[in-house]
Amino acid sequence: MSTLVLGSIGIDDIETPFDKAEGILGGSASYAAVAGSFFGPSRMVSIVGEDFSDDQRRLFTSRGIDLNGLKTAPGKTFRWGGRYAMNFDDRETLFTDLNVLAKFDPELPASYQDSRFVLLGNTDPAVQLKVLEQLDGPEVVVVDTMNFWLESQRDLVDEVLARANVVVVNEEEARMISGHHSILRSALEMLDMGLDAVIIKQGAYGALLRTAGEWFFTSAYPLLEVRDPTGAGDSFAGALTGYLARERELTDQNLRRAVVHGSVAASFSVEGFGLESLLNLTEQQMKDRYAEFLRFSRVEFDID
């Protein structure tokens, strides 16, 4: 089953303590759609400028991503630049040029309106609502957001969350939404908003899942080297939603597996700059790392 993915497409300049890359393909929709494509077809909703090349489009279509919802507008594609500190957690934004993204007003093609599984990637909540209004009763809506939207458009974020099934946020965003310092209390508070599941990303330490029935905690996949963490969260959300769409049922067991698949996709994403690692990845490599992840995490002993 296809997954509709809303988000940005951008051209990024990235600096780390060890390397840098300029003019590479990025954006929340890019990472999410490519990561999700390992589990089934993706439908992309985004905007690019006239400078976006056919070669860049082919990077998406080569992964079976439907670009009928990708709008080309006069002007330049969204650009962003960032510099990471030694710990890779602290990041300085060097520049943000919204360009055509500043006036993005999504219009879904008719072929997208029956989408059952939807990922509203990190973007303006007004745009997220505009997409929801054009859908014919989706079964599962997964939402990502960020502190900027929570500070500037909290009412609209709350409207989006009221129509969502699953929210994917980091610890800081969870605290902002809930008003609690405790991450566990934050998850419970967000669940009381009517969500079916709350997923809180904890970076290099993993992620937690809370549903009405249970808690689930998982570590991150252990890596010897990280090159670029920019797309980790979007890759996580894309793979998670893609897996749920493939399974077609929002059960606790499927959510647990989806979180692990998301962690696996994120681990591959950070091993290269931009989409480099994900675009060169095979389905077998994803399956092998998923199995390895489970083996690393398994605890087998009897409790007296």
State which amino acid sits at residue 102.
A
The secondary element (H helix, E strand) that includes residue 172 is helix 171-178
Residues 6+ apart with CB under 8 A from 292: none
State the chain's maximal CA–CA distance in angstroms. Answer: 68
CA distance 304 to 53: 63
- Residue type for 153, please? Q
303 band by pLDDT with thresholds 50, 70 and 90? low
pLDDT, tens digit (0-9, with 9 covering 90-100), for 55-71? 999 999 999 999 999 99
For residue 33, what is the enclosing H or E element? Answer: helix 28-36
Q: Nearest CA to 5 among 39, 43, 59? A: 43
pLDDT of residue 1: 81
> How large a percentage of the chain has pLDDT more than 90?
95
Strands 65-73 and 3-6: unpaired
Prediction pTM value: 0.96
Q: Which two tokens stand for residue 121?
A: 């990637």
Is CATH 3.40.1190.20 what the domain over 3-297 is classified as, yes or no?
A: yes
163-189: pLDDT as tens digits:
999 999 999 999 999 999 999 999 999
Residue 91 CB coordination number (10 Å): 15
